[in-house]
A = this chain, B = another copy of it.
């Protein structure tokens, strides 16, 4: 049998993704990852250095591939709302990315791994957002994307919140999805209107409220 180190690596990465996704960095067990991959755990230290290095590799791989899997298509506020809907569906189908994102935030804080690649990914999404909503600023585009991520990624990570707040009726998922899509549509519309009437103190739709 030929050596297939890439296969061994990807088996480990896959098992590690599953383990870190469900248990986080502190809760994950090296032995369990190796057993799940059907590989000796010593391989982990050869290929990834240590537990932290393996976690890094998992984070970078999972969060980068997500960027390609759910692209922004079309133009106008509808395009951003549509993107939010597809992101919501994707995370609902597979909660790996949101869970890893929050594990990283909680266990690593501001120490972000793979920074250049991830900054490029984010910049690309910001540019797509500006393309969809011509005239808005980079900062507003980033803010809209943070809003979308907040709304779409929270649901699969806090599965109990929905039941606690809105009951367990059938069709809850669809209603929550609709609420997210609509909220993003409203936020994107407001930004687009603001950009269209640039300079003017009054926006077309939904003037910025003066609160607090």
Question: Is A35's beta carbon under 8 Å from chain B?
Answer: no
Counted per complex, copies of this chain come to 2
User: Which residues of B are found within 8 Å of A125, using beta-carbon distances?
Assistant: 165
Mark each residue of chain A from 95 to 125: 1 if its CB lies under 8 Å from any CB of chain B, else 0. Answer: 0000101110111011010000011001001
User: Which residues of B are found within 8 Å of A180, using beta-carbon distances?
Assistant: 147
Contacting pair B24 A102 (CB below 8 A):
no
User: Which residues of B are found within 8 Å of A51, using beta-carbon distances?
Assistant: none
Contacting pair B181 A162 (CB below 8 A):
no
Question: Is A128's beta carbon under 8 Å from chain B?
Answer: no
Partner of A209, one of B78, B107, B190: B78
**Least Cβ–Cβ distance between A119 and chain B, in angstroms:** 6
> Looking across the interface, which residue of chain B has its beta carbon closest to that of A126?
B165
Question: Is A170's beta carbon under 8 Å from chain B?
Answer: no
Contacting pair A105 B166 (CB below 8 A):
no
User: Which residues of B are found within 8 Å of A75, using beta-carbon distances?
Assistant: none
Partner of A147, one of B122, B157, B179, B208: B179
Question: Is A2's beta carbon under 8 Å from chain B?
Answer: no
> Which of A163, A175, A211 counts the most B-chain CB atoms under 10 A from its CB?
A211
Chain A to chain B contacts (Cβ below 8 Å), 5 pairs: A24-B106, A105-B160, A119-B164, A150-B150, A205-B205
| Residues of chain A at the chain B interface (Cβ within 8 Å) | 23-27, 77-78, 81-82, 85-86, 99, 101-103, 105-107, 109-110, 112, 118-119, 122, 125-126, 138-140, 142-147, 149-151, 153-155, 157-167, 169, 175-176, 178-183, 185-187, 189-190, 205-206, 208-209, 211-212
